[in-house]
């Protein structure tokens, strides 16, 4: 780092030597010429001094940086805590005006990742004359509303696992806002044999759409079959879950999940006052078709008592889900396609010899044609958990604009017809959605 200073000094002495030689051979210049030469020499001396000071300061900063890196490496060697996947690493030393000492790479911050997500919607459309809306339709009558605010907290707790807590403040039918723990669980991540366990409150591993958080859905609302059989809140309750990455001869991703949860779901199981459990099993397979596309195939099963007394009446649910994903191999940020399909079959016992067999399904297609723009369409058909003679059809289309990775806009049109518990259905609805994120929000597992 001292070579530039030496070079400048050498050039300066060469200039002085030849100037001295010139003075010896030639006549002494006039006063004005001598003053000009003295001024040039002074400017050169000042430039050399500034360059020397600058290089000295840079050398000092580099020495301090090397010393800090040595200290961090020594601290990392003594650290025994395990860094969980996805945990933010300690930043490299950054110099902005002055040196900032970085944290040790093995140090776990006491501050969790915190995020806040706002979901704002505008709903337009009226019920045709003579139609009596059911409870799900009545919940949509408000024109503009902040539908939900979600707060997320996520952090490793110790070398054995991490904790995730998601609090949601949702708007109720009466216009009031009610806080609720949407999910809150601890995940054990260091178990042997590719096992993983989590305990707390979480969305059941049934199908695909049930596990979506509001802000992560590719539509404004969940498919009709999910709302009819699981309600607005989905299949979500307290319990424990065991998942296993299944070894297979095809070397594909295969995961088997088993949940034991309270059967508090009102639509298909015993309800919030029930004292029994429901059992949910899900097998997920993923395999590549080629470098640009892949298929995920899943099967689900759920069983539990459907009355509050824990009696012999039970509900059995089976589900099949198929998702095809394609992303352009050269223009992956600009062009992609997702085709999602899910079917649900229900057998709900209501008496000694009375079982309601009903089903529903949906098919959704989303095409991304630009980095920020995508268009989607969805068809729903569903019967009802307590009736196979009633049904609804729904046709949905919409457009999504992703302003950035922290914000998106969505417009959606939906037509529904058929017959529900309240009578004939024939309605058109339009939705405008705005979602925004602040903070650091971990990716959800689907």
The reply to whether 65 and 120 lie within a common domain is: no
Q: What is the CATH number of the domain that holds 261?
A: 2.40.160.10
Task: Give how many domains the chain has, as a whole number.
Answer: 2
Q: What is the per-residue pLDDT across 232-267, written as a single tens digit (0 to 9) for each?
A: 889 999 999 999 999 999 889 999 999 999 999 999
Instruction: Answer yes or no: is 100 within a domain.
Output: no
Span of 87-96, 162-171, 265-274, 380-389 with lowest mean pLDDT: 87-96
Q: What percent of the chain has pLDDT over 90?
A: 59
Average pLDDT for 396-405: 96
Instruction: For 38-73, write each residue's pLDDT tens digit.
Output: 777 777 777 777 777 777 777 778 787 787 777 766
Q: Specify the pLDDT at position 56.
A: 79
Going by pLDDT thresholds of 50, 70 and 90, the confidence category of residue 107 is: very low
Same domain, 160 and 73: no
Kindly tell me if the per-residue pLDDT of 141 is higher than 90.
no
> Is the pLDDT at 222 greater than 80, yes or no?
yes
Question: Domain for residue 65, yes or no?
Answer: yes
Of 3-17, 210-224, 235-249, where does mean pLDDT reach its minimum?
3-17
226 & 367 share domain = yes
> Does residue 245 sit within a domain?
yes
Check pLDDT > 90 for residue 357.
Answer: yes
Higher per-residue pLDDT: 2 or 178 = 178
**Domain limit, last residue, from 27, 56, 78:** 78
pLDDT at 174: 81
Answer yes or no: is 95 within a domain.
no
Calculate the average pLDDT of the chain.
82
Q: Within a domain: residue 165?
A: yes
For residue 84, pLDDT over 80 is answered with: no
Who wins on pLDDT, 171 or 12?
A: 171
> What whole-number distance in Å separates Cα of residue 26 and Cα of residue 23?
5
Q: Is the pLDDT score of 443 beyond 80?
A: no
Same domain, 238 and 352: yes
- In terms of pLDDT, which residue wins out, 432 or 270? 432
Domain end residue (candidates: 49, 78, 107): 78
pLDDT attached to residue 276: 86
- Structural domain of residue 383, as residue ranges? 116-439
268 & 343 share domain: yes
Model pTM score: 0.72
Same domain, 307 and 375: yes
Flag whether 171 is in a domain. Answer: yes
Residues 260 and 380 in one domain: yes
In a domain, 445, yes or no: no
């Amino acid at each position: 780092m001292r070579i530039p200073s030496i070079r400048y000094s050498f050039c300066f002495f060469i200039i002085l030597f030849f100037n001295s030689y010139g003075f010896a051979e030639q006549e002494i210049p006039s006063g004005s010429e001598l003053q000009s030469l003295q001024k040039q020499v002074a400017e050169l001396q000042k430039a050399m001094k500034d360059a020397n000071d600058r290089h000295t300061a840079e050398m000092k900063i580099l020495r301090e940086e090397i010393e800090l890196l040595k200290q961090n490496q020594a601290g990392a060697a003594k650290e025994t805590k395990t860094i969980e996947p996805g945990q933010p690493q300690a930043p490299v030393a950054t110099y902005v005006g002055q040196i900032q000492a970085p944290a040790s790479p093995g140090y776990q911050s006491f501050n969790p990742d915190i995020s806040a997500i706002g979901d704002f919607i505008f709903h337009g459309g009226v019920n045709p004359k003579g139609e009596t809306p059911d409870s799900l339709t009545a919940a949509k009558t408000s024109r503009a509303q902040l539908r939900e605010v979600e707060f997320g907290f996520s952090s490793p707790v110790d070398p054995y696992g991490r904790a995730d807590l998601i609090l949601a403040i949702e708007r109720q039918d009466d216009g009031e806002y009610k806080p609720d723990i949407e999910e809150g669980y601890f995940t054990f991540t260091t178990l042997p044999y590719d096992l993983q366990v989590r305990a707390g409150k979480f969305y059941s591993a049934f199908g695909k759409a049930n596990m979506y958080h509001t802000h992560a859905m590719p539509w404004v609302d969940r498919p009709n079959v999910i709302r009819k059989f699981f309600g607005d809140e989905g299949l979500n309750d307290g319990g424990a879950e065991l998942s296993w990455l299944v070894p297979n001869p095809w070397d594909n991703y295969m995961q088997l999940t088993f949940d034991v949860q309270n059967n508090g779901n009102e639509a298909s199981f015993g309800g919030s006052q029930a004292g029994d459990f429901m059992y949910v099993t899900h097998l997920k397979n993923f395999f590549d078709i080629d470098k640009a596309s892949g298929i995920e195939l899943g099967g689900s099963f759920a069983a539990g008592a459907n009355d509050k007394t824990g009696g012999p009446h039970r509900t059995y649910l089976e589900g099949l889900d198929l998702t095809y994903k394609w992303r352009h191999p050269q223009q992956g940020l600009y062009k992609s396609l997702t085709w999602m399909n899910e079917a649900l079959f229900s057998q709900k016992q209501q008496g000694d010899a009375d079982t309601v067999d009903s089903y529903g399904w949906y098919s959704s297609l989303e095409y991304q044609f630009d980095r920020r723009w995508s268009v989607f369409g969805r068809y729903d058909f569903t019967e009802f958990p307590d009736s196979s003679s009633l049904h609804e059809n729904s046709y949905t289309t919409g457009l999504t604009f992703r302003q950035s990775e922290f914000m998106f806009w969505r417009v959606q049109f939906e037509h529904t017809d058929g017959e529900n518990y309240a009578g004939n259905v024939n309605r058109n609805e339009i939705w405008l959605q705005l979602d925004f994120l602040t903070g650091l929000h971990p990716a959800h597992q689907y």
